[in-house]
């Protein structure tokens, strides 16, 4: 390991030789001895020692303080002062040159060694710190992410090139910038909450999204994380690292608008479908029903006019009458399934009761209905939607649940209506609930969403499924 080289600057030769002997005794090498400030600069430039021991009072026009200033500024070599003077004025002058230590004459070898070692260590640490700062600054300015620093009141202290460019500001604008000035008022609570979290814990747990106003008035979206910056062991500022998510937000907004358009289209098609069902149900009930009733009346007249001895003709007439009666019942059932008259004439409650009875007759599954509010008033559109939701839920139970009992409740809760359908079947799985191929469930969810309501579907293995729908009573 090479010995550290020390340049001695001392105008008294005997003192200089004594210092040289002491340095060599503790393991240093003496690069040279200079007796004046001018010569010390020349030798420092030529020899590049690791450290300079500089006497403050030297022969010639330049004293040790001025020589030390030039050596340190030009060559970045640490200087330790040797002086017999400890007055305030001298020390104050020396302090300006940022020396790495003082040795007051006379001194012991141990003191000399300790001071030099501390000076070399401080100089090495300083170089490492400067290199680290330079690397950080290079990363800071070259980073594509937006990096910024602000104080605890939101005032900007610094920002890298990417951040300044994204916001449309120049570096000289930083001192007039405040983080709050980039936000809209509705974002203040979010920003304050994030700031409190950073101060309390040292950093954010999750990134925060902000909509920031550029200098030209346009907006960009960023996702940012903040953390505390410490100076001398104390929190001094907040550093934020952000990335631009403007395009992502635009894509989200476009997707949301697209979904909304699709939902509106689906609702419109559903409305058209209901109108067509109503027209079809009415035509089947009125036109076909009336025709069958007239046919039954004609068959009844024919039966009365047919002599008793025409037994075969009478039997055929009666058989045709029974077939017409059966067809009339089928027509009534089809008409009711297309659009229950009760729904339009009496209301939702009556239609739910009728559907519950029909479900029980058709499937053999017991269906109990509980209505706790009789004064439920809904628009025709909402009544139809709730009824169809109920129908689709019963259809799913018939197809998949393997249930033996269904309980239905219809309750008015404040300004909302709650429909709850519970079965005792095998229980729907989470995978089935989220399966995009479960079109029946998707249809129910879309109807509820369009009504600005909420839906909950919960299944328990071998204990059944509960579907709870809550919708506002008014639009």
pLDDT digits (tens, 9 = 90+) for 201-238: 988 888 899 999 999 999 999 999 988 888 878 888 88
Instruction: Inform me whether the pLDDT recorded for 405 exceeds 90.
Output: yes
Region 179-193: what's the mean pLDDT?
Answer: 89
Q: How confident is the model at residue 95 (pLDDT cuts 50, 70, 90)?
A: confident
Region 245-267: what's the mean pLDDT?
Answer: 78
Looking at per-residue pLDDT, the higher value among 384 and 470 belongs to: 470
Instruction: Inform me whether the pLDDT recorded for 278 exceeds 70.
Output: no
**Element (H or E) spanning 289, and its range?**
helix 289-305
Instruction: Inform me whether the pLDDT recorded for 99 exceeds 90.
Output: no
pLDDT of residue 458: 92
Region 242-263: what's the mean pLDDT?
Answer: 82
Looking at per-residue pLDDT, the higher value among 85 and 16 belongs to: 16
SS3 of residue 417 by DSSP = strand
Q: In what order do the strands lie in the sheet with 51-55?
A: 29-34, 5-9, 51-55, 79-83, 102-104
The pair phi, psi for residue 27, each rounded to 5°, is 100, 10
Instruction: Inform me whether the pLDDT recorded for 90 exceeds 80.
Output: no
Q: Are 177 and 169 in contact (CB under 8 A)?
A: yes
Nearest to 456 by CA among 407, 389, 399: 389
pLDDT of residue 453: 87
* Percentage of the chain lying above the pLDDT 70 cut: 87
Instruction: Inform me whether the pLDDT recorded for 97 exceeds 80.
Output: no
Note if the pTM is more than 0.95: no
Written as six digits, the tokens of 387 are 């009824």
pLDDT of residue 39: 92
pLDDT of residue 176: 85
Q: Are 397 and 425 in contact (CB under 8 A)?
A: yes
End-to-end CA distance of the chain: 87
Extended beta strands in 292-428, E state: 366-371, 405-413, 416-423
Region 416-441: what's the mean pLDDT?
Answer: 85
Region 94-119: what's the mean pLDDT?
Answer: 82
Region 59-66: what's the mean pLDDT?
Answer: 85
The per-residue pLDDT for range 346-383, each reduced to its tens digit, is: 778 888 888 888 889 889 999 998 887 666 777 777 88
Q: Which residue has the tokens 């289209």?
A: 265
The pair phi, psi for residue 406, each rounded to 5°, is -130, 135
Strand 146-150 relative to strand 156-159, pairing: antiparallel
pLDDT of residue 73: 86
Instruction: Inform me whether the pLDDT recorded for 68 exceeds 70.
Output: yes
Nearest to 336 by CA among 268, 263, 375, 280: 280
Q: What would the DSSP string read from start to end of 339-377?
A: S-HHHHHT-HHHHHHHHHHHHHHHH--EEEEEE--S---
Q: Which of the listed ranges 136-145, 149-158, 283-292, 429-438 does the model predict with the highest average pLDDT?
A: 149-158
**How far apart are alpha carbons 74 and 86 in whole angstroms?**
27
Mean pLDDT over the full length of the chain: 83
Q: How confident is the model at residue 336 (pLDDT cuts 50, 70, 90)?
A: low
Q: How confident is the model at residue 48 (pLDDT cuts 50, 70, 90)?
A: very high
Q: How confident is the model at residue 268 (pLDDT cuts 50, 70, 90)?
A: low
The pair phi, psi for residue 468, each rounded to 5°, is -120, 125
Instruction: Inform me whether the pLDDT recorded for 19 exceeds 70.
Output: yes
Q: How confident is the model at residue 47 (pLDDT cuts 50, 70, 90)?
A: very high
pLDDT of residue 285: 63
Neighbouring CB atoms inside 10 A of 221's CB total: 18
């Amino acid at each position: 390991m090479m010995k550290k080289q020390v340049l001695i600057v001392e105008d008294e030769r005997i003192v200089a030789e004594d210092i040289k002997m002491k340095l060599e005794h503790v393991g240093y090498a003496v690069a040279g001895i200079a007796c004046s400030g001018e010569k010390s600069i020349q030798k420092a430039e030529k020899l590049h020692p690791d450290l300079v021991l500089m006497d403050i009072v030297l022969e010639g026009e330049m004293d040790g303080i001025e020589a030390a200033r030039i050596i340190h500024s030009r060559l970045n070599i640490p200087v330790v002062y040797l002086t017999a003077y400890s007055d305030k004025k001298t020390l104050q002058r020396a302090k300006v040159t940022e020396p790495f230590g003082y040795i007051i004459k006379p001194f012991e070898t141990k003191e000399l060694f300790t001071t030099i070692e501390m000076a070399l260590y401080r100089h090495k640490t300083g170089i490492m710190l400067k290199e680290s700062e330079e690397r950080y600054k290079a990363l800071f300015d070259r980073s594509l992410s937006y990096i910024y620093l602000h104080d605890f009141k939101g005032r900007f202290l610094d920002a890298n090139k990417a951040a300044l460019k994204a916001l449309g500001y120049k570096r000289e604008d930083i001192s007039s910038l405040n983080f709050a000035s980039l936000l809209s008022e509705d974002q203040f609570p979010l920003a304050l909450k994030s700031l409190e979290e950073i101060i309390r814990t040292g950093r954010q747990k999750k990134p925060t999204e902000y909509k920031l106003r550029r200098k030209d008035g346009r907006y960009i979206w960023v996702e940012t994380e903040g953390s505390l910056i410490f100076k001398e062991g104390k929190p001094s500022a907040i550093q934020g690292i952000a990335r631009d998510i403007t395009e992502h937000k635009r894509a989200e907004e476009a997707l949301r608008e697209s979904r909304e358009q699709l939902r509106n289209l689906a609702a419109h098609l559903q409305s058209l479908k209901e109108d067509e069902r109503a027209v079809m149900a009415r035509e089947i009930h009125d036109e076909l029903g009336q025709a069958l009733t007239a046919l039954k009346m004609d068959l009844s007249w024919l039966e009365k006019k047919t002599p008793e001895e025409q037994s075969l003709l009478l039997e055929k007439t009666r058989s045709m009458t029974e077939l017409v009666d059966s067809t009339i019942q089928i027509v009534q059932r089809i008409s009711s399934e297309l659009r229950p008259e009760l729904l339009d004439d009496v209301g939702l409650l009556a239609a739910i009761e009728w559907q519950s009875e029909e479900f029980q007759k058709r499937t053999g599954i017991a269906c109990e209905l509980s209505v706790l509010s009789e004064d439920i008033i809904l628009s025709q559109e909402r009544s139809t939607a709730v009824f169809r939701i109920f129908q689709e839920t019963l259809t799913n139970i018939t197809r998949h649940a393997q249930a033996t009992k269904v309980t239905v409740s219809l309750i008015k809760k404040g300004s909302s209506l709650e429909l709850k359908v519970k079965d005792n079947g095998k229980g729907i799985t989470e995978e089935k609930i989220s399966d995009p191929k479960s079109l029946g469930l998707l249809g129910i969810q879309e109807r509820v969403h369009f009504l600005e309501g909420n839906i909950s579907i919960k299944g328990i293995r071998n204990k059944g499924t509960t579907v709870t729908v809550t919708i506002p009573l008014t639009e």
